[in-house]
A = this chain, B = another copy of it.
Amino acid sequence: MNLTHPFRDPDGDKLREECGVFGVIGAREAVNIAALGLHALQHRGQEAVGISTYDGREFYSRRGLGHVAQVFSEKDLGETLPGEMASGHVRYSTTGGSGLRNVQPLFADLSTGGFSIAHNGNISNAASLRRELVRRGAIFQSTSDTEVIIHLVATSRYPTLLDRFVDALRMVEGAYSLICMTDQGMIACRDPLGIRPLVMGRLGDATVFASETVALDVVGAEFVRSIEPGELVQVDHKGTVSSHRPFGNISPRPCIFEHVYFSRPDSVMDGRSVYSVRKQIGVELAKESGVDADIVIPVPDSGVPAAIGYAQESGIPFELGIIRSHYVGRTFITPSEGARHAGVKRKHNANRAIVEGKRIILIDDSIVRGTTSMKIVDMMRDAGAAEVHMRIASPPTGHSCFYGVDTPERSKLLAANMDTAAMGAFIKADSLAFVTIDGLYRAVGAAGRNNACPQFCDACFTGEYPTSLTDLADRETPDLLTLPVNKVA
Interface residues of A in 276-334 (CB under 8 A from B): 276, 301, 304-305, 308, 312, 317-320, 323, 325-330, 333
Return A370 CB to nearest CB of chain B, in Å.
23
State whether B42 touches A325 (Cβ < 8 A). Answer: yes
Is A176 positioned at the interface, with any CB of B under 8 Å from its CB? no
State whether B326 touches A1 (Cβ < 8 A). Answer: no
Copies in the assembly, this chain: 4
Cα distance, A185 to B2, chains bound together (Å): 21
- A1-B203, A301-B326, A350-B217 given; A486·B52 CB < 8 A: yes
State whether B484 touches A58 (Cβ < 8 A). Answer: yes
State whether A353 touches B58 (Cβ < 8 A). Answer: no
Return chain B residues, CB-CB under 8 Å to A59: 484-487
Instruction: Identify the stretch in A68-76, A361-369, A395-403 within 8 Å (CB) of chain B at 4 or more residues.
Output: A68-76
Return A29 CB to nearest CB of chain B, in Å.
6
Interface residues of A in 436-489 (CB under 8 A from B): 483-489
The residue of chain B having its C-beta at the shortest distance from the C-beta of A327 within the complex is B42
Return chain B residues, CB-CB under 8 Å to A151: 137, 139
Return chain B residues, CB-CB under 8 Å to A385: none
The residue of chain B having its C-beta at the shortest distance from the C-beta of A329 within the complex is B326
- A206-B1, A489-B80 given; A7·B354 CB < 8 A: no
A327's partner among B69, B150, B273 (CB-CB below 8 A) is B69
Is A268 positioned at the interface, with any CB of B under 8 Å from its CB? yes
Is A357 positioned at the interface, with any CB of B under 8 Å from its CB? no
Interface residues of A in 195-245 (CB under 8 A from B): 203-204, 206, 214, 217-220
Mark each residue of chain A from 421 to 439: 1 if its CB lies under 8 Å from any CB of chain B, else 0. Answer: 0000000000000000000
Interface residues of A in 66-115 (CB under 8 A from B): 67-69, 72-73, 75-77, 80-81, 107-111, 113-114
Is A411 positioned at the interface, with any CB of B under 8 Å from its CB? no
Return A230 CB to nearest CB of chain B, in Å.
26
Is A40 positioned at the interface, with any CB of B under 8 Å from its CB? yes
Best-surrounded residue of A80, A111, A204 (most CB of chain B within 10 A): A111
State whether B139 touches A353 (Cβ < 8 A). Answer: no
Interface residues of A in 241-268 (CB under 8 A from B): 264-266, 268
- A72-B6, A486-B61 given; A139·B114 CB < 8 A: no
- A139-B154, A354-B276 given; A32·B5 CB < 8 A: yes
State whether A487 touches B346 (Cβ < 8 A). Answer: no
Return chain B residues, CB-CB under 8 Å to A319: 308
Return chain B residues, CB-CB under 8 Å to A155: 136-137
Cα distance, A151 to B109, chains bound together (Å): 14
State whether B349 touches A217 (Cβ < 8 A). Answer: yes
Cα distance, A157 to B232, chains bound together (Å): 37
- A27-B1, A266-B350 given; A304·B320 CB < 8 A: yes
State whether B265 touches A325 (Cβ < 8 A). Answer: no
Best-surrounded residue of A7, A110, A114, A333 (most CB of chain B within 10 A): A7
Return A63 CB to nearest CB of chain B, in Å.
8
State whether A351 touches B273 (Cβ < 8 A). Answer: yes
Cα distance, A328 to B1, chains bound together (Å): 32
Return A242 CB to nearest CB of chain B, in Å.
23
Is A14 positioned at the interface, with any CB of B under 8 Å from its CB? no
Is A8 positioned at the interface, with any CB of B under 8 Å from its CB? yes
State whether B1 touches A485 (Cβ < 8 A). Answer: no
Ranked nearest first, the 6 interchain pairs of A and B with the lowest CB-CB distance are A273-B353, A137-B155, A6-B36, A80-B489, A266-B323, A137-B154
